[in-house]
């Protein structure tokens, strides 16, 4: 039973003035039109039209049903057009999750450009180094460092996530500049508390050689920004994402240490749930982020 189609036919009969005219407008037979109206009346248990050989007239129930049907059909048309507009014009709330450092130093500046281009999009950004759970339905887009293995999730590769070594000029003046990775064992190395191997850095050289370096340090922190700030204060050597240290390196507050060596770049992905008809908001955000950060 298509209630909206029945309502539409009834409204057409009323506005066309007869079953025959409504049938011509609908490209169906007058018999079919009469059957549809009769079905409505039987379903409602009320006569909607008083019909004679010359004309038809709305009953009191018919007048009420006509007015309400027109309103419902208008509301349905507005609903359809609203969804179509949503599919064609980016608008609404976009929920994104990203790692803390990448989100702060890379994603937020990029979002400023995206939001300037799409004034009707609002962004709810969550920064968390834990792996977001799509199953909870909290996020539409997730930027994740490391492999993503979840059913029904689309992953798009982004540029690898790179980390670099740096220290303040004052620290290096006091403690010397390491020339080889092994010499890091004699330095204050600033660590992150959530690293699985805080006492060892596995560095990769310019030809792909690997050096496992035992490290120590009097300061560890649970946030990369704290490690960066500690390095600027001359407390030791930091191993942090390039984006986190970029401004300090550019201004000379920090200088590179062993620039040919770094942690192996980590794969990074843009992930989202599979949707056959994604909204314009989601499509535009995916395209923007892939253009800005894609491989």
Over residues 250-269, the mean pLDDT reads 94
Alpha-carbon gap, residue 191 to 198, rounded angstroms: 6
CA 142 to chain centre: 6
Its CATH architecture, for the domain 163-263, is 3-Layer(aba) Sandwich (3.40)
The reported pLDDT for the residue numbered 275 is: 66
Give yes or no for a contact between 258 and 189, defined as CB atoms under 8 angstroms apart.
no
Alpha-carbon gap, residue 237 to 121, rounded angstroms: 41
Q: Map out the domains of the chain as residue ranges.
A: 3-88, 92-160+266-293, 163-263
**CB neighbour list of residue 243: distance below 8 Å, 6 or more residues apart:** 101, 102, 105, 106
Q: Give the chain's mean pLDDT.
A: 87
The reported pLDDT for the residue numbered 286 is: 94
Torsion of CA 89, 94, 99, 100, to 10 degrees: 110
The reported pLDDT for the residue numbered 128 is: 85
Q: Per-residue pLDDT for 273 more than 80?
A: yes
Q: Percent of the chain having pLDDT more than 70?
A: 91
The reported pLDDT for the residue numbered 135 is: 47
The reported pLDDT for the residue numbered 3 is: 81
Helices (H), 187-258: 224-232, 242-251
* Range name among 141-155, 216-230, 281-295 with the lowest pLDDT average: 141-155
| 82-126: pLDDT as tens digits | 665 556 789 899 999 999 889 999 999 999 999 999 999 999 999
| 10-43: pLDDT as tens digits | 888 888 888 888 888 788 888 888 888 888 888 8
| 51-81: pLDDT as tens digits | 765 667 888 888 888 888 888 888 877 676 5
CATH number of 92-160+266-293: 3.40.190.10
Give yes or no for a contact between 240 and 159, defined as CB atoms under 8 angstroms apart.
no
| 189-233: pLDDT as tens digits | 998 877 766 688 999 999 989 999 999 999 989 888 899 999 999
Q: Per-residue pLDDT for 136 more than 70?
A: no
- 3-88: CATH, from 3.40.250.10, 3.40.190.10, 1.10.10.10, 1.10.150.120: 1.10.10.10
């Amino acid at each position: 039973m298509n209630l909206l189609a029945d309502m539409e036919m009834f409204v057409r009969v009323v506005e066309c003035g007869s079953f025959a005219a409504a049938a011509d407008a609908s490209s169906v037979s007058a018999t079919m039109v009469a059957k549809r109206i009769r079905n409505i009346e039987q379903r409602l248990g009320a006569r909607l039209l008083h019909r004679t050989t010359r004309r038809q007239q709305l009953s009191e129930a018919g007048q009420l049903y006509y007015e309400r049907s027109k309103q419902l059909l208008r509301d349905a048309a507005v609903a359809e057009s609203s969804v179509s507009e949503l599919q064609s014009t980016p608008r609404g709330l976009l929920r994104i999750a990203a790692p803390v450092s990448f989100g702060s130093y890379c994603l937020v500046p990029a979002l400023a450009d995206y939001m300037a281009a799409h004034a009707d999009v609002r962004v709810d950004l969550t920064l968390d180094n834990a792996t977001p759970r799509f199953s909870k339905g909290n996020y539409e887009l997730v930027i994740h460092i490391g492999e993503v293995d979840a059913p029904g999730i689309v992953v798009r590769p982004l540029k690898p996530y790179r980390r670099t070594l740096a220290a303040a000029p004052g620290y290096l003046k006091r403690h010397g500049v390491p020339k080889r990775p092994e010499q890091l064992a004699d330095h204050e190395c600033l660590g992150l508390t959530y690293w699985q191997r805080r006492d060892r850095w596995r560095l990769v050289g310019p030809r792909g050689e690997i050096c496992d370096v035992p490290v120590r340090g009097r300061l560890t922190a649970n946030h990369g920004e704290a490690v960066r700030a500690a390095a600027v204060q001359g407390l030791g050597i930091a191993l942090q994402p390039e984006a986190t240290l970029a401004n300090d390196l550019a201004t000379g507050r920090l200088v590179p240490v062993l620039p040919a060596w770094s942690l192996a770049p980590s794969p990074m992905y843009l992930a989202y749930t599979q949707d056959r008809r994604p909204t314009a908001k989601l499509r535009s955000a995916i395209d923007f982020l892939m253009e800005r950060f894609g491989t």
